[in-house]
Amino acid sequence: METIKNVKFRIKRWIPEDGRFRVDTFEVPVFKGMTVLEGLIYIKENLDPSLSFRRSCRMATCGICGIVINGKPMLACSTQILHLQSDTITLEPLKNLPLVKDLVVDHTPFFEKQKTIKPYIIRKNDLDEYWNPTREYKQTPREVEEYLQFSYCLTCALCYAACPTSGTNKDYLGPQALMNAYRFIADNRDEGLLLRLEIVDSPDGCWGCHLAGSCSDVCPKGVDPALAIQILRKMVVEKDLGYLEERKGAQLVPPLPYVEGVEKVEAPKFTVRGAKKKAEEIQTKYLS
Ligand code: SF4
Ligand code: SF4
């Protein structure tokens, strides 16, 4: 690939042994279309094998390569160096998360908060069908639209790193978890409306949001967590005024008629060892 120019990578690295940051600068030959992630891989392969950063899919799908690029949380794999229009780019680890090494942070608090809103469809009946599906729930294209935008979340934590409230209140659920609560509320298969509104109705939930909108600004998938949080607030008020009731989730489509000669397709089986046991534990804990 033809080198267009050299760009300086100023990397703010967390040094765990010293408990402080150190800034290292590397010169990277850049070709047209080269991404920040490819720049980091170049440095690791050619200049400093000790440099630590996370990456996996390289196509803005897994969401693990999020870092702060020139002051803004972005995905390294989908940010082209030349698009930054600068001869020097500054890279830092994501904020609001515990530091591990160099550009690597620990996403545990982010996923713990996501867990609290119960990020799965809740059903009160037809539990056999829930765990061993044989049919589909009725859902029209319009009903899919209700939550589709919010289901695009990559769990990249860019919104969490950009959120000033998450930066100042460690108990704040954060934009992704709150958005995800709304994602399931908006899904007509779900029957956890009142339970989820109870979880988010607190100063550390939807009422903690300052509506700065940074979360929506940095989201690489256009999910718009700030919008979801405002809808949650409206729903909490409606619930308190007695306008909202638990709804009955979408019903199952009727069984397909038996047609001779057509092979019956079995429902998928659990493929990961221990997954069935884990699913049963969740059922006992949250759904029974
Ligand atoms: S809108 Fe709310 S959740 Fe989003 S960044 Fe601002 S304070 Fe955080
Ligand atoms: S809402 Fe957007 S920024 Fe936040 S975790 Fe999901 S994809 Fe990332």
**What CATH number does residue 58 fall under?**
3.10.20.30
pLDDT of residue 268: 66
pLDDT tens track for 98-111 = 999 999 999 999 99
> How far is ligand 2, taken at its centre, from the CA of residue 192, in Å?
22
CA gap 288, 281 in Å, rounded = 10
Name the band, by pLDDT with cuts 50, 70 and 90, for residue 126. Answer: confident
- The whole-number pLDDT of residue 128 equals 79
Please check whether residues 18 and 113 belong to one and the same domain: no
Place 115 in a pLDDT band, splitting at 50, 70 and 90: very high
Rounded to an integer, the average pLDDT of 227-256 is: 92
pLDDT at 247: 86
Q: Which atom of ligand 1 is nearest to the CA of 175?
A: 3
pLDDT of amino acid 73: 98
Would you say residue 288 has pLDDT above 60?
Answer: no
What pLDDT is stored for residue 286 in this prediction? 60
pLDDT band at 255 (very low <50, low <70, confident <90, very high): confident
Are 79 and 173 in a shared domain? no
Residues 84 and 196 placed together within one structural domain of the fold: no
Q: Could you tell me if 127 and 44 lie in one domain?
A: no
Boundary (domain end) residue, out of 83, 105, 127: 105
Show Cβ contacts of residue 112 under 8 Å, excluding neighbours closer than 6 positions: none
At residue 199 the predicted structure's pLDDT band, cuts being 50, 70 and 90, is very high
The residue to mutate among 215, 216, 232, 233, having the most atoms of ligand 1 within 8 angstroms of its beta carbon, is 215
* pLDDT at residue number 31: 97
Residues 52 and 147 in one domain: no
Q: Rounded mean pLDDT of 200-215?
A: 96
pLDDT band at residue 172 under the 50/70/90 scheme = very high
Lookup: tokens for 69: 């690029």
Helix intervals (H) in 2-52 = 36-46
In a domain, 123, yes or no: yes
Percent share of the chain, pLDDT over 90: 80
| Average pLDDT score, the chain | 93
- Final residue of a structural domain among 223, 240, 257: 240
Question: Buried (b) or exposed (e) across 270-283, using 16+ Cβ within 10 A?
Answer: eeeeeeeeeeeeee
Does a structural domain hold residue 233? Answer: yes
pLDDT score of 267 more than 70:
no
User: Same structural domain for residues 150 and 40?
Assistant: no
pLDDT in tens, 48-98: 999 999 999 999 999 999 999 999 999 999 999 999 999 999 999 999 999
Cα–Cα nearest to 190, from 121, 144, 286: 121
Same domain, 19 and 137: no
Structural domains of the chain, count: 2
Instruction: Report if residue 288 sits inside a domain.
Output: no
Q: CATH number, domain at 156?
A: 1.10.1060.10
What is the atom index within ligand 1 of the atom nearest the CA of 212?
Answer: 6
- Looking at the structure, tell me whether residues 113 and 98 fall in a common domain: no
4 Cα: distance to centroid of ligand 2 (angstroms): 32
pTM comes to: 0.90
Ramachandran angles phi, psi of 144, nearest 5°:
-65, -40
User: Could you read off the pLDDT of 9-27 as tens digits, one per residue?
Assistant: 999 999 999 999 999 999 9
| Residue span of the structural domain in which 170 resides | 108-240
State the distance between the two ends of the chain, measured CA to CA, in whole angstroms: 59
Say if 135 falls within a structural domain: yes
- Give the pLDDT of residue 259: 73
The per-residue pLDDT for 13 is 98
Looking at the structure, tell me whether residues 122 and 231 fall in a common domain.
yes
Determine the Cα–Cα distance for residues 159 and 169; give it in Å rounded to an integer. 15
Of 86, 105, 124, which one is at a domain's C-terminal end?
105
- CA distances from residue 243 to 185, 194, 250, 280 in whole angstroms, order as listed: 15, 12, 20, 34
- Per-residue model confidence (pLDDT) at position 186: 97
Indicate whether 127 and 101 sit together in one domain: no
For ligand 2, is residue 97 a contact (CB within 6 Å)?
Answer: no
Quick one: average pLDDT of 223-250?
95
Same domain, 62 and 125: no
Does residue 86 sit in the same domain as residue 118? Answer: no
Position in ligand 2 atom list of the atom nearest CA 73: 3
102 alpha carbon to ligand 1 midpoint, in Å? 26
How many whole angstroms from its chain centre is CA 200?
Answer: 17
Q: Which two tokens stand for residue 277?
A: 């046991």
